[in-house]
């Protein structure tokens, strides 16, 4: 369901306020490019996944690679696929400030307490309430 004009205007106001309040944070979450380490991990994960897929298929197709009734190469291929998928998925959102994992989360949680209405979210909530009281 698309947003109404009023909701779109509110969203634009929130975006502008975010850029004014904290431009560095806004630019880091604004759908920009991933950092190089995160991109590299994603590519490595995808390649490992593809290698695992090839090993899985080859292990099933070539019976000479079986030990007894167990397709060992296929099992290794499956484990490689699993590892590649985990590597690619965990690279999503793993960067904090300056591309290093975990730094941004602690800083933002200590900045603003849940009951603190002087912060950015408190001001946005107050603006939102005033808008709807007027209408």
pLDDT per residue as tens digits for the range 15-64: 888 888 877 777 766 655 556 778 888 999 999 999 999 999 999 999 88
CB-CB contact of 78 with 54 (8 Å): no
**How many domains are contained in the chain?**
1
Q: Is the pTM of this model over 0.75?
A: no
Annotate 5-22 with b (16+ C-beta within 10 A) or e (fewer).
eeeeebeeeeeeebeeee
Query: Mapping DSSP to helix (H, G, I), strand (E, B) and coil, where does residue 95 land?
Result: coil
| Structural domain contains residue 116 | no
Cα–Cα distance for residue pair 111/17, rounded to 1 Å: 18
| Structural domain contains residue 68 | yes
Cα–Cα distance for residue pair 37/50, rounded to 1 Å: 20
| Structural domain contains residue 65 | yes
Q: What pLDDT is stored for residue 104 in this prediction? A: 42
Q: Domain of 66?
A: 37-96
| Structural domain contains residue 46 | yes
Contact partners, residue 94, CB within 8 Å, separation at least 6: 38, 41, 101
| Structural domain contains residue 61 | yes
Longest dimension (CA), the chain: 77
């Amino acid at each position: 369901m698309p947003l109404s004009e009023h909701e779109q205007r509110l969203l634009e106001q929130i975006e502008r306020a975010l850029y004014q309040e904290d431009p560095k944070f806004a630019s880091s979450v604004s759908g920009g490019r991933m950092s190089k380490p995160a991109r590299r991990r994603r590519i490595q994960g995808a390649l490992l996944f593809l290698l695992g897929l090839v090993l899985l298929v080859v292990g099933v197709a070539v019976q000479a690679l079986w030990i007894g009734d167990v397709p060992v190469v296929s099992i290794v291929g499956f484990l490689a696929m699993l590892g590649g998928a985990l590597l690619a998925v965990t690279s999503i959102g793993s960067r904090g400030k300056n591309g290093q994992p975990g730094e941004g989360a602690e800083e933002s949680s200590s900045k603003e307490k849940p009951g603190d209405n002087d912060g950015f979210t408190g001001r946005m909530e107050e603006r939102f309430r005033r808008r709807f009281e007027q209408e």
